Amino acid sequence: MPMKIRKLNRVLHRDLGYLFTGMIIIYAISGIALNHVKDFNPNYSITREQRTIRIPQNLSANDKSGAIEILAQFDEQDNYRKHYFPSKDELKIFLKEGGSIVVNLQNGKTLYESLKKRPILHQVNFLHYNPGHLWKWFSDIFAVVLITLAITGLFILKGKNGITRRGAWLTAIGFIVPLALLLMYY
């Protein structure tokens, strides 16, 4: 590779690497979290609590005052979103901030489910899901930059550690492992 092209390759690799470090970290963190979505909810911390409460007399589908009275017993009266009756013996109240309270109307037993956004993970996952038109284009540019970083990285070193020797073996392994896993899972 001629010296001018080699220098341009290094400069391109270095500057794109610096410029997109934040995106690399965002996608890496959210990628790890999303890989483990079966193990835990990466966006929300969910807590469940069972409790027996006093059932108000004024429960109706059209009036929220009874539902708010129930929410007050959980100190959630300002968090009312909506409610409905899935059956004649059950009331479900949804909370603005996420979560719900399911009330057994026969015995007052409840299941209180609270959702809290996980700091950092919720935000990086939001970005990973492509929240809007501009982000989609920025993410596409980022994908092209990752391809560019991969290709320019192949030609940074020369000699025994370069792409014609050690680098060739490592690059081949880097292709073989995902292909083998694809064959195994597909």
- pLDDT tens for residues 97-142? 889 999 999 999 999 999 999 999 999 999 888 888 999 999 999 9
Smallest Cα–Cα separation from 59: which of 23, 20, 105, 15?
Answer: 105
pLDDT of residue 50: 96
Query: Is the whole-model pTM more than 0.95?
Result: no
Predicted confidence band of residue 143 (pLDDT cuts 50, 70, 90): very high
Alpha-carbon gap, residue 102 to 69, rounded angstroms: 14
The pLDDT of residue 184 is 95
In degrees, to the nearest 5, what angle opens at C-alpha 145 toward C-alphas 186 and 126? 70
State the pLDDT at residue 97. Answer: 82
Determine contact, residues 68/60, Cβ cutoff 8 Å.
no
* Residue 1 confidence (pLDDT) above 70: no
Residue 120: which of 28, 10, 17, 9 has the closest Cα?
A: 28
Amino acid making up residue 88: K
The answer to whether the beta carbons of residues 98 and 80 sit under 8 Å apart is: no
pLDDT digits (tens, 9 = 90+) for 17-76: 999 999 999 999 999 999 999 999 999 999 999 999 999 987 887 888 999 999 999 999
Most distant CA pair in the chain, distance: 85
